Amino acid sequence: MEFTLDVSSHAFLSGDIRISSLSYINSTNSYVRIYKLFMQNKPNFGNDKMSINLDVTYNYKNLPRWRSQKTKPIQTQFKANKAKNKPNLTQFKAKTNPNKPNIETAPKLFLAFTFPCPGYNLPMQIWTIQKLLNWTTEYLTGKGIESPRLSAELLLSHTVGLTRIELYTKFDRPVPPEQLDRLRDLVKRAAQNEPIAYLVGRTEFYSLQINVTPDCMVPRPETELLVERAIEFLRERRTRTQYVCDLCTGSGCIAVAIAENFSDARIIATDICDAALAVAAGNIKKHQLSDRINLLCGDLFDPVISGLDVNEFDLIVSNPPYVSTAEYEKLDMNVKDYEPKKALFAGVNGLDVYSRIIEKAGQFLKPYGALMLEIGYAQGPAVKELLEQTGDFREIKIEKDFHNNDRIVTAKKLST
């Protein structure tokens, strides 16, 4: 007996299939058992969600007694929601082929059903870490997800509670059903372009684990250049305690990275969003930096009170919203549909927040202090012009990232 099965990937992840048992019987009952299996598990979804083709080859001499020799091979079409037009969901065909020998078992018949379809009970199939990693990578690749292997590693390591390296040292470890169900849900969401960082609740930034939620923007590798230049500047000043202001802190990734790598920094980080500050507070506590980073809720410099907080800073850094109206409409789905708009959008030309920061930055900087801003890929000239118009800054420098796009603007305050 030979079986072939074709099930769409949508059906794999839809959770609409339930298979309670499977038996292989090379006898007169083989036809009946398989037929009953499908009848007991009627799909309840539309024809666009699933397509099953099952071909069975057997010896006609072994047909059950209740079946006449004149009867045509059974063809079963399941009804979906009692629709008038029967969707062609399941076809069961029987045909004679004397050249094919009977096969007692078909171990690969329902391999694809066992994951990530819930409710499976097939002891013949054990999902190991290696199988899940390979399957998830292939599935995300087919969905066009960026960095599918890395995404699969992050989802699986989060689900089973291992590091990415440990996944490769425990390839043969079986994954229990409850973890398979969790992974199935995460893979479905990842295939819909939901950011992996939101799914696992964290990301890596400047070699640090940073917690993130949909209340804050996901830290980008390009922002690490801003952190690197900030640390270099603080080290070059060679004064013991230096004061830093991080505007639009979001997850707190910039403040945490600076404080972690420059122990003499004392940082005030502000953000207008309470929920984002809660994420930042968690990251500060996680890295044991509560005594060196102070969070304030408010718009840019507004919550900084002269005399109560720091009067002047050695360095002001910010990765503010800078996406223009035209750019926002063209953003990737995993950004536009999931990350907070207020952390991205900055008016028609994307310069609204820059102009407000630059207008007041000179008042909060020490002489020879620096303002460092992350900018959009083509905003260098416009931001430089805003800085020059104030008359407060010198040595205005635009630096490109590893994609050769404008990324960092550094401006040092004049001595007077």
Tens of pLDDT, residues 249-282: 999 999 999 999 999 999 999 999 999 999 999 9
In the DSSP assignment, the letter for residue 316 is: E
Q: What is the spatial distance between Cα 341 and Cα 321, in angstroms, rounded to a whole number? A: 9
The span from the CA of 226 to the CA of 205, in Å, is: 12
The total of structural domains in the chain comes to 3
Q: Is residue 124 part of a domain?
A: no
Q: With DSSP H G I counted as helix, E B as strand and the rest as coil, what are the percentages for the chain, rounded to 5?
A: 35, 20, 45
Decide: 31 and 38 in contact? Cβ < 8 Å: no
> Is 123 inside any structural domain?
no
Is 390 found in the same domain as 345? yes
Residue 373 DSSP SS3: strand
**In this structure, are 223 and 329 located in the same domain?**
yes
Q: Give the domain-ending residue among 192, 224, 242.
A: 192
Residue with tokens 């010198």: 394
Q: Give yes or no: residues 104 and 185 share one domain.
A: no
- Is residue 148 situated within a structural domain? yes
- How wide is the angle at C-alpha 74 spanned by C-alphas 73 and 78, nearest 5°? 155
Same domain, 231 and 100: no
Q: Are residues 105 and 141 in the same domain?
A: no
**23 shares its domain with 138:** no
| Structural domain contains residue 30 | yes
Q: Domain residues for 405? A: 208-413
Domain boundary among 79, 114, 149: 114
The reply to whether 335 and 248 lie within a common domain is: yes
Q: Where are the beta strands (DSSP E) in 135-280?
A: 202-205, 208-211, 242-247, 265-271
Report yes or no on 340 lying in a domain: yes
* Domain-located, residue 120: no
CATH number at residue 380: 3.40.50.150
d(CA 44, CA 11): 11
pTM value? 0.72
241 and 288, same domain (yes or no) = yes
Asked whether residue 99 falls in the same domain as residue 134, the answer is no
Query: Are 70 and 141 in the same domain?
Result: no
In a domain, 197, yes or no: no
Contact 353, 321 (CB under 8 A): yes
Q: What is the CATH number of the domain that holds 155?
A: 1.10.8.10
Same structural domain, 353 and 386: yes
The pLDDT profile of the chain, 416 residues, written as one tens digit per residue, is 433 343 434 334 444 333 333 333 343 343 334 333 433 333 333 333 333 444 444 444 444 444 444 444 444 444 444 444 444 443 334 444 545 444 443 333 344 444 445 444 434 468 999 999 999 999 999 999 999 999 999 999 999 999 999 999 999 999 999 999 999 999 999 999 999 999 999 999 999 999 999 999 999 999 999 999 999 999 998 778 999 999 999 999 999 999 999 999 999 999 999 999 999 999 999 999 999 999 999 999 999 987 677 889 999 999 999 999 999 999 999 999 999 999 999 999 999 999 999 999 999 999 999 999 999 998 999 999 999 999 999 889 999 998 899 999 999 998 76
Of 180, 195, 202, 200, which is closest to residue 136 (Cα–Cα)? Answer: 180
For residue 358, being part of any structural domain is answered with: yes
Domain's final residue, options 192, 221, 240: 192
Q: Are residues 279 and 332 in the same domain?
A: yes
